[in-house]
């Protein structure tokens, strides 16, 4: 006996989404092509500039930055020095620079979008209630799904990789910015109002500085999530260490996959510790 659920007709969701995507891609095809061409030129140019820097100079510079960022401690500086020397020794320096470019641009775009959005959420409860479910959707959707619209809009290459990474990495910055500003003590807000501060003065001179630590924690998570998308983005042509991991997986090359994976781990640790150290320095 058939269930009463079988009587309900199947909703034609897949075809409707396909039609919507076709409309968007046809309507904005010129814009997407412009973004793809311009973005690719900028990012490939950035990578070429980074590759042009002698690896030893880049490595020493990162070690020096790590030394001062951690309060003149040698731990991270030594790890950065040895880790980056290892990556260069394995012939993965250019791939590392490609990954670095991808992480820089996706993180910057996510931060540029995320911080203003988080501020608006903290100022408008209705806007917060609208955006929160969208953020939940973005965080729970598997990262691979973001590759579908990325390819539909921008084709194959580094630009769709950045697009997918931005969507995946955006929520932490938005959430932490909203949380940080909402947690600013009420008495300080009232004191600011009593001195006749405008809304802009109150935001940039009281709320944002006091919420800086929380906002930086969100930025740290955004950067790491951007890095975690490197391997996934390589499936749609994004260059870098992720492509090396994917290639090793496809060819069952355990050794090459291990080296590329370890290189990603080294890079992730350096980025994570540096952003955390910068946050701690700002608190002091």
Band (pLDDT 50/70/90 cuts) for residue 282 is low
Residue with tokens 């009587």: 7
The mean of the pLDDT values for the chain is: 85
Q: What angle do CA 50, 101, 239 make, to 5 degrees?
A: 105
**What's the pLDDT tens digit per position in 24-80?**
888 888 888 888 888 888 988 988 999 999 999 999 999 999 888 887 788 889 999
**What's the pLDDT tens digit per position in 193-239?**
787 778 888 888 888 888 888 999 899 899 888 888 877 888 887 88
Band (pLDDT 50/70/90 cuts) for residue 284 is low
**Residue 281, pLDDT score:** 63
Half-sphere exposure of 235 (CA within 13 A, CB side): 15
pLDDT above 80 for 2: no
For domain 11-52+90-283, give the CATH number.
1.10.3720.10
This prediction has a pTM of 0.85
**Residue 83, pLDDT score:** 93
How many helices and strands in the chain, by DSSP H and E? 14, 0
**What's the pLDDT tens digit per position in 103-149?**
899 999 999 999 999 999 998 889 999 999 999 888 888 877 888 88
**Residue 89, pLDDT score:** 92
């Amino acid at each position: 006996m058939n269930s009463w659920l079988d009587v309900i007709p199947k909703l034609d969701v897949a075809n409707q989404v396909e039609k919507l995507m076709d409309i968007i891609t046809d309507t904005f095809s010129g814009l997407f092509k412009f973004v793809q061409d311009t973005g690719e030129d900028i990012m490939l140019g950035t990578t070429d500039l980074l590759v042009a820097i002698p690896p030893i100079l880049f490595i020493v510079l990162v070690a020096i930055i790590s030394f001062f960022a951690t309060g003149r401690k040698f731990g991270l500086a030594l790890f950065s020095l040895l880790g980056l020397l290892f990556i260069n020794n394995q012939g993965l320096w250019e791939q590392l620079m490609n990954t670095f470019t991808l992480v820089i641009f996706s993180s910057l775009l996510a931060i540029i979008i995320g911080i203003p959005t988080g501020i608006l959420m903290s100022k408008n409860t209705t806007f917060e209630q609208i955006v929160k479910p969208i953020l939940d959707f973005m965080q729970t959707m598997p990262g691979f799904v973001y590759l579908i619209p990325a390819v539909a809009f921008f084709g194959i290459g580094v630009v769709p990789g950045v697009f997918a990474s931005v969507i995946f990495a955006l929520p932490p910055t938005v959430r932490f910015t909203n949380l940080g500003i909402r947690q600013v003590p009420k008495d300080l807000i009232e004191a600011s109002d009593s001195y006749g501060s405008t809304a802009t003065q109150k935001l940039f001179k009281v709320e944002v500085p006091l919420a800086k630590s929380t906002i930086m924690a969100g930025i740290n998570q955004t950067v790491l999530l951007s890095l975690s998308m490197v391997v996934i983005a390589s499936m749609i042509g994004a260059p870098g260490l992720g492509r090396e991991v994917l290639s090793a997986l496809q060819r069952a090359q355990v050794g090459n996959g291990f080296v590329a994976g370890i290189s990603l781990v080294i890079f992730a640790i350096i980025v994570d510790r540096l952003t955390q150290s910068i946050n701690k320095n700002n608190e002091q």
